[in-house]
Structure 1
Amino acid sequence: MGPVTDLLTDCEDVAWFRDEPEAARGAAAALGRRIGLTEHRTAELVLAVAELTTNITKHAVDGSLLLRVLRTEDVAGVEVVVVDGGPGMADVAAALRDGMSTAGTLGIGLGAVQRLADTFHIHSQRGLGTVQVARFWPRPLHRSTTGEPAVGGITRPIAGEQVCGDAWAARPDTAEQDTHRDPVRTGPPAGTDPLPLDWSDLTGTRPPGRRLQPPQRPRIPSLVTPRASRSVPVRAAAPGPGRGTLVMSCDGLGHGPMASLAAKAAVQAFRTGTARTPEQAMEQIHRALRGTRGAAVAIARLEPDGRVLFCGTGNITAALVTQDSRANLLSHPGIVGHQMHQLRTYEQHLPGHGVLVMHSDGLSDRWTSADLAGVLHHPPALIATALLRLAGTRRDDASAVIAKAVR
C-alpha cells in the first residue's frame, strides 16, 4: 500500500452485482463513459470487470462486485470492489503471477487487473474469503489522484432494495476555510455531476419489483454501550492547529427510498457545511433533516496530533482500533432531524497505527480487534469492505467507514 495522504474523495456507491457478469460489464461501460473516461480507458475498466466477475464465477462462494464513482476536486474515476466468502487464496503473490491457475484456465485474471488498474489492493485468507479494490482514473493521471485516501467506506442496501438508507462522507477542515458558505444549501457541490447515478442510469431500465413503500414507523436508536472506553467528555472542544478531517456515518431510519432521502440530505448538509467541530456539524445536519424520516448520525474529527473528537446521536457503532485493542466511543439516544438530547463531544487519542471505525447497525458490533488485525495495513476502503463481509447482515441497510490518521 502507498502512503496514506490527506487526499479525500467523494464516494458514491452505484450498484452491486451478484451472479450477473454481463450486467456488471455493461454497467461498467456505461459508468466509464458517463464520468468522462476515454473509450480506451473505459475498455480497460470493462476488461478488468470481466476478469473479476469470471474469477467470482469460477472460484468464489457468495461473491459480489460493487461499482462506484470516486471524485476529487479535479477528476472523477471508478472504483471496483469485489468481496466473497471463500475459499480464499493460500498464496496471493502466486495468484497475481501470469500463468498461475487452480481451475485449469490461463490464470491471467488478477495479473491483468493489477496492470490495468491505477491502484489494486487484495487481501485473502483461507477459509474466510477475499477482498479486492481496484481504482481506475483518467489518463494521464492527475496529481490529485496520487496517494491513498485517509478515509474510505462502503454501503450495501438491504436484500431486495436498490437504494441504501445508510451513507458516509468525509471532508477536510482548516481555519482558513471559507466561512461564508450556506451550511444547509441544496444541490450538489460545485464541480460534481448534478445528476444522481442509479440503476436506471446504467441499465436503461428500472429494477424489477421495486416500488415506493409507505414510510415505516421509525425505530428508536438505542444507547451504544462502550466496551473498555476511556473517552473523556469535552464541553468546549476546540479544533487544533493545522488541517483536521471530519468524518460522518449516517443511518436513515428504516430502509428504502425514504431512508435514502434522509441519508442524502445528511451527506449534503455535511459536505457543504461550515462546521469545524462534530457538535456544530450535528446541529447543521439536524436542521437539514427536519421534514425527513430522520437518522442516526455519528461525526468525528481527526486532528494531526492524534486527538479524536466524537459526537454521536443514535445507534452508530464507533471505535478506535489497533492490532490488539478496541476502545468504543459513546453515542447518545435520539433521532437527528426529530429529537436530540444535549450534545456531548468525547475526546480520545488515536495511535498512529490505529484506525477509526464507524458503522451502522446493519453490521453486528460483536467483532473484535483481532478480527481486523490482519487488514489494518490495507487502505481504509478495503478494511471497511472486510468488516462488512465479517459483520454485515442482509436484514438491514449496512455501511462502514474507516479513517486513518495523517500525521
Structure 2
Amino acid sequence: MVAVTGGPPADHLPTAEDVGWLPVEELSAVGAARRAATGLAERLAFTPTRVAEVALVITELATNLAKHADQGVLLLRALRTAEHAEVEVASVDRGPGIADPALAFRDGHSTAGTLGIGLGAVSRLSDAYAIRSAVGRGTILTARFGPRDLRHPARVEPAVAAGVTRPMGGEEICGDAYAIRRQDKRLLLMLCDGSGHGPLAASASQAAVRTFLDIDWTTPEDAVRLLHGGMSGTRGGAVAVAELDPVAGLVRYAGVGNISGTVVTDRKRGMVSLPGIAGYQARTIRRFDYELPEDAVVVLHSDGLNERWTADPLDRWSADPLVVALDLLREAGGRRDDASVVVAKASAR
C-alpha cells in the first residue's frame, strides 16, 4: 500500500511506499530478502555499486535476524521526491536486544546472543539510520539509501513525522493509507482505514489520499468533509485528520469512524472521533482542539492496533518517528486486520 507524505511541492516531504514485509526466521530467508532489496534498488535506478552496498547491508541485517532474533521481519520501502528515489529498510524483532547500540555499530564487534554483528556496515553505507533497542524486548533499526556515490554523501534531514502500513495476514495489499503535509511549522496528518480489506479497501483509502493531497490547506473538519465527498462511490472507511500547530500549542482534530488519535506526553490523552463511514454516511463532522506541549507526540492508528499500548517507556518517544511507529505496531498490532500508524512530533523543525 502506498503511504504518502507530502502534497504540493512546497511541502518538501517524500512519498513512502511500503513495498513488502519479509519474515526472516531462518537462514534460508536471507537470500530472498537480499534479492527483494536489490530488485527494488535496481527499479529505482541505483548504480550497480550502490545496489551491491544495499545488498551487503540487507544480508547483514537478515542474517542477524535469522541467527539471533525472535519473530524477525524486514520492511522494504521506496521513498520518492521530485529529485530522486531512495530505498528504506526496517529491521524489527522481539529478540534479546542490544545493551550498547553504539558499541554494536563498531566494525568487528560481536557479542553472542545479541544483534551486534555486522552493524558497522549500516553506519558506513547508509545515508541515515536510527535504532531503538531494549534488552529483553528486541530491536528496531531503520536505514535509508540514496542512489548516490559515497564520495558525495547525501544530506538527510531528520524526520518530523512518519507512518507505516501492514496488510493483514494472508493479504499482499493493505486497505489502510496515510498522508502527511507540512506548511511552515505546521503538520497536517491524515489516516484512512478502508472498510474491509484487500483491493476494494485499498481503493477507498487511496481515494482519501488523492483527495487530501489535492485540496488546499484547510481545517481538519473541512478536510474530513472533502474526504467524505472524495470517497463517494467507494466502499468508504474511517478517516481522521490532525493539524499540529506548535506555535499555537494546539492539535486540531476531526475524525469519522474508528481511527484512534492520541496526544502523548507522560500519559495518553485520547482525541474524539465521531461515528460514521466517510464516503457513505457522516452526519456529524466536528473539530476538537487539544493542548500540544513542546515535548508531545501525536499518534494516529487504525483498529489494526489495539489501544492497550502505554505511554511507557518514556524513552520510546524520543526516537525517530518511524522507529516509534514500528515499535507501536510491534507492541499493539494484530495480524487479523490491516494495521497502520502515523507518528508526529510537536516540535516540528
Q: How does 1:57-72 map to 2 (within 5 A)?
A: 57-72=66-81
- The alpha-carbon distance between structure 1 residues 144 and 312, as it changes in their structure 2 partners (threshold 3 A), is farther
Match in the other structure for 1:48? 57
**Distance in 1, Cα, partners of 2:316 & 2:12:** 20
Match in the other structure for 1:158? 168
- The alpha-carbon distance between structure 1 residues 106 and 330, as it changes in their structure 2 partners (threshold 3 A), is closer
- The alpha-carbon distance between structure 1 residues 243 and 88, as it changes in their structure 2 partners (threshold 3 A), is closer
TM-score by length of 1: 0.77
Give the AA of the match of 1:32. A
120, 126, 130: which one pairs with 1:117?
126
Asked whether the 8 Å contact 1:97–1:108 carries over to 2, the reply is: no
Q: Does 1:314 align with 2:324?
A: no
Q: Does 1:136 align with 2:79?
A: no
Cα distance, 1:146 vs. partner?
2.6
Identity of aligned residues (%): 50
Asked whether the 8 Å contact 1:8–1:151 carries over to 2, the reply is: no
Cα distance, 1:386 vs. partner?
0.4
Asked whether the 8 Å contact 1:167–1:399 carries over to 2, the reply is: yes
Asked whether the 8 Å contact 1:7–1:147 carries over to 2, the reply is: no
**Distance in 2, Cα, partners of 1:353 & 1:318:** 17
SS of aligned partner of 1:331:
coil
SS of aligned partner of 2:318:
coil
- The alpha-carbon distance between structure 1 residues 105 and 318, as it changes in their structure 2 partners (threshold 3 A), is closer
Cα distance, 1:117 vs. partner?
0.6
- The alpha-carbon distance between structure 1 residues 106 and 390, as it changes in their structure 2 partners (threshold 3 A), is closer
Match in the other structure for 1:334? 276
Cα distance, 1:105 vs. partner?
11
Q: Does 1:266 align with 2:208?
A: yes
Match in the other structure for 2:84? 75
Give the AA of the match of 2:19. V
Cα distance, 1:38 vs. partner?
1.7
**Distance in 2, Cα, partners of 1:71 & 1:248:** 19
- The alpha-carbon distance between structure 1 residues 276 and 50, as it changes in their structure 2 partners (threshold 3 A), is same
TM-score by length of 2: 0.90
Give the AA of the match of 1:24. A
Unaligned runs of 5+ in 1: 1-5, 174-241
**Distance in 1, Cα, partners of 2:257 & 2:162:** 22
Cα distance, 1:341 vs. partner?
2.1
**Distance in 1, Cα, partners of 2:43 & 2:155:** 19
Greater RCO (CA < 8 Å, at least 6 residues apart): 1
**Distance in 1, Cα, partners of 2:217 & 2:177:** 19
- The alpha-carbon distance between structure 1 residues 114 and 299, as it changes in their structure 2 partners (threshold 3 A), is same
Give the AA of the match of 2:224. M
Match in the other structure for 2:6? none
Asked whether the 8 Å contact 1:13–1:69 carries over to 2, the reply is: yes
Asked whether the 8 Å contact 1:317–1:360 carries over to 2, the reply is: yes
Cα distance, 1:275 vs. partner?
3.9
Cα shift readout 1:196-217 (whole Å, capped 9, x = no counterpart): xxxxxxxxxxxxxxxxxxxxxx
Cα shift readout 1:286-327 (whole Å, capped 9, x = no counterpart): 1221111111011011124132111011101111112x1211
**Distance in 1, Cα, partners of 2:244 & 2:113:** 48
Match in the other structure for 1:401? 342
Q: Which runs of 4+ in 1 moved over 3 A?
A: 103-108, 140-145
- The alpha-carbon distance between structure 1 residues 244 and 104, as it changes in their structure 2 partners (threshold 3 A), is closer
88, 102, 118: which one pairs with 2:97?
88
Asked whether the 8 Å contact 1:72–1:145 carries over to 2, the reply is: no
Cα shift readout 1:152-176 (whole Å, capped 9, x = no counterpart): 0111110111110111110124xxx
**Distance in 1, Cα, partners of 2:290 & 2:155:** 31
**Distance in 1, Cα, partners of 2:36 & 2:229:** 36
33, 36, 53: which one pairs with 2:45?
36
240, 245, 253: which one pairs with 1:303?
245
8, 15, 23: which one pairs with 1:10?
15
Asked whether the 8 Å contact 2:97–2:114 carries over to 1, the reply is: no
